[in-house]
Structure 1
Amino acid sequence: MSAAGPREPAQPATTFAVLGYGRFGQAFADLLLQAGHRVRAWDPHADLPAALAAASMPAAIGVARWIVLAMPVPHMRDALLALRPLLHAGQTVLDVGSVKLHPCAMMDELLGADIPHVGTHPLFGPLSLARDERPRRTVICPAADHPQAAARAGELFRDLGCEVIVQDPESHDRAMARTHALAFFIAKGLIDLGVDDGLPVAPPSFHGMKHMLAAVRGDAGHLFAAIQRENPFAAEARAQLLAELERVHRQLLDDADGDSLAISAPSA
Structure 2
Amino acid sequence: MVKMNVGIIGGSDGLGKTLIYYFRDEFEVYITGRDHKKGKQIADEMNVNYIESNEGLANISDILVISVPIQHTCDVIREVAPFMKSGSVMVDVTSVKEGPTKTMGEVLPDSVEYIPTHPVFGPRTTRLDNQVIVLTADRKGKWYSKVYDYLASKNMRIIETTAEKHDFMMSIVQVLTHFSFISTASAIEKLSVDISETEDYESPIYNLMIDMIARIVSQNPYLTYNIQSMNSNGNKVRNALAEAVLELRDVINKGDEDEFIDIAIKATKHMGDITNALGRSDKAIGALSYEYSYLNESIGEEVGLKHIYSGRIHVGILESIDGKTAVLKDGNKIKKLRIANIRILLPEELHQWKIENMKTKTESISCVFPKNVNIDIIQKTVLMHDNLLDIRLTDAYNGPQIDDNFISLTFTVTALTKDDIEQVKELFTGFGGVIR
Shared fold, TM over 0.5: yes
Partners of 2:249 and 2:28 in 1: how far apart?
54
The alpha carbon displacement at 1:204 in A equals: 2.3
Partner of 1:173: 167
Of 8, 33, 42, the residue aligned with 1:18 is 8
Equivalent position amino acid for 1:80 in 2: I
Q: Show the 5 A alignment for 1:257-268.
A: 257=258, 259-263=261-265, 264=268, 267-268=272-273
- Which structure has the bigger radius of gyration? 2
Partner of 2:244: 244
- Secondary structure in structure 1 of the residue aligned to 2:60: coil
Higher strand share: 2
Is the Cα–Cα contact under 8 Å of residues 63 and 88 in structure 2 kept in the other structure?
Answer: yes
Q: 1:55 to 1:112 in 2, by over 3 A?
A: closer
Of 180, 189, 198, the residue aligned with 1:186 is 180
Equivalent position amino acid for 2:69 in 1: P
Partners of 1:187 and 1:140 in 2: how far apart?
27
The alpha carbon displacement at 1:223 in A equals: 1.0
Q: 1:197 to 1:41 in 2, by over 3 A?
A: farther
The alpha carbon displacement at 1:151 in A equals: 2.6
Is the Cα–Cα contact under 8 Å of residues 32 and 160 in structure 1 kept in the other structure?
Answer: no
Q: 1:160 to 1:135 in 2, by over 3 A?
A: closer
Partners of 1:117 and 1:267 in 2: how far apart?
36
Which deviates more, 178-187 or 254-263? 254-263
Q: Show the 5 A alignment for 1:39-50.
A: 39-45=29-35, 47-48=38-39, 49=42, 50=44
Partners of 1:134 and 1:197 in 2: how far apart?
34
Partner of 1:30: 21
Q: 1:52 to 1:105 in 2, by over 3 A?
A: same
Q: Show the 5 A alignment for 1:91-102.
A: 91-102=88-99
Is the Cα–Cα contact under 8 Å of residues 96 and 121 in structure 1 kept in the other structure?
Answer: yes
- Secondary structure in structure 1 of the residue aligned to 2:94: coil
Partners of 1:92 and 1:44 in 2: how far apart?
23
| C-alpha RMSD of matched pairs (Å) | 2.6
Which deviates more, 248-257 or 12-21? 12-21
Partner of 1:152: 146
Which deviates more, 199-208 or 189-198? 189-198
The alpha carbon displacement at 1:192 in A equals: 2.0
Gaps of 5+ in 2: 274-436
Aligned pairs, how many?
A: 254
Q: How many percent of aligned residue pairs carry the same amino acid?
A: 19
Is the Cα–Cα contact under 8 Å of residues 31 and 160 in structure 1 kept in the other structure?
Answer: no
The alpha carbon displacement at 1:20 in A equals: 1.1
